[in-house]
Structure 1
Amino acid sequence: MNLFEYVADRWSRLGLQAWLHVSAVVQCTIIAAVIGVLIGVAVYRSPIGSALATALASTVLTIPSFALIGLLIPVVGLGVAPSVIPLVLYALLPIVRNTIVGLSGVDPAVTDAAKGIGMSRFGVLTRVELRLAWPAILAGMRVATQMLMGIAVIAAYAKGPGLGSEVFAGLTNAGSTNSMNQALTGTIGVVVLALILDGIYVLISRFTVPRGVRV
């Protein structure tokens, strides 16, 4: 059986796995974005706080994904939890870093002008600074999403959702009839989905970022 026949015969199951893979990545990116932006807002005015937040987020990336998931399994069990927690943690670095960079790069003259017309500190942050920092934040989310597409494959080790189960099944059953088809289907599927999501980010940027401030 060639690859196309394998995919055609199992299209419904593979479609569901692809959807679960994308859904997990997107949801974890959104969660990480909320946490990362809040951290960035809290520390961007402090050089020490910014360096510490970036260093802590960077430290997570030094932990191999297999090891982190393996350490979480005895604590939270198998399934969604040991998959979501690592994905959120791995997504934090680019979002936190870009939030800090974006907010720090806002021209002080712009914020002074906003304060001069009577805006509160919260109003300046939400209506001026975060809007101007949005291109950088979106770029961080875009990088995080691409990272998570690959890392989510490893989540299959903890019975997590997505195309990783195809890859692991193919590698585990190496030498069997469809082992190569399984591994290739999962791998190619992840690549295709990553490209589609990247294209969606391009569209989001085009519709939400003014041309003059695109990064």
Structure 2
Amino acid sequence: MNFWEYLSSRRELLFFETWQHASMVFQCVLAALVLGLIIGLAVYRRPGLAGMATGTAGVIFTIPSLALLGLLITPLGLGVAPSVVALTLYSLLPIVRNTIVGLNGVDATLVDAARGIGMSRRAILLRVELPLAWPVILTGVRVSTQLAMGIGAIAAYVSGPGLGEQIFSGLGRLGGANAVNMTLAGTLLIILLALLFDGCYLLIGRLTTSRGIRA
């Protein structure tokens, strides 16, 4: 059968796997955002600790995805758990780094002015520093999401959820019936998801960033 016939005959399965993939990526990036913000907020005023945090996240990021997923099989088994842990770890670096860069990039005169009118350190962080750093942080989230989209396909190696099953199954039976259709369907749907997520982030950025900062 041709590609369009394959899509039509497998539409329920493909929809389910697309939903799984999107859900996994969203949850992992959300977890990485929470962890990344906590780490970034804890270290951005301390250059030594900031370097250690970004360096550690960078080392994790350099571990080949197949190797990390394979290593996680022993403590976590197969399925969702190793997939979620791996994607969350890989998503940390852009968020941690951009949180630190964004917060350190806030104009010191604005912080001094806020302090001069009697704002507490917590109020300055929540009302001045984080809003000004948010566009940079959101850029890190966008990068993390694109990375997680691609790496999420490799989660099929450990029986993880998502569209990776289409790609791995297709590659595993190259030359057989529908092998190319399976691989192509998984790949194109991941690209489509990546574009949809990025469009959502652009909208979120416009809605959550003041006009003065966007200008």
TM-score, normalization by structure 1: 0.97
Q: Which residue of 2 aligns with 1:113?
A: 113
Structure 1: which 5+ residue stretches go unaligned?
none
Local SS of the residue matching 1:154: helix
CA-CA distance at 1:119 after TM superposition: 1.7
- Report which stretch shifted further, 44-53 or 111-120: 111-120
Q: Which residue of 1 aligns with 2:100?
A: 100
Amino acid at match of 1:166: Q
Q: Which residue of 1 aligns with 2:199?
A: 199
Matches within 5 A, 1:54-133: 54-133=54-133
CA-CA distance at 1:208 after TM superposition: 1.0
- Report which stretch shifted further, 118-127 or 1-10: 118-127
CA-CA distance at 1:53 after TM superposition: 0.8
Local SS of the residue matching 1:131: helix
Deviations 1:84-121 (A, max 9, x none): 01101000110001000110011111112222222211
| In structure 1, distance between residues paired with 2:46 and 2:124 | 18
Local SS of the residue matching 2:128: helix
| In structure 1, distance between residues paired with 2:68 and 2:138 | 27
Amino acid at match of 1:211: R
Identity of aligned residues (%): 56
Q: Which residue of 2 aligns with 1:145?
A: 145
Amino acid at match of 1:119: M
Deviations 1:4-29 (A, max 9, x none): 10011111110010011011101111
RMSD over aligned Cα, in angstroms? 1.1
Deviations 1:163-215 (A, max 9, x none): 00000110111111111110110011101111111111111111111233239
1:17 corresponds to 2:13: no
| In structure 2, distance between residues paired with 1:212 and 1:97 | 24
Number of corresponding residues? 215
Moved over 3 A (4+): none
| In structure 1, distance between residues paired with 2:211 and 2:8 | 42
CA-CA distance at 1:130 after TM superposition: 0.8
Structure 2: which 5+ residue stretches go unaligned?
none
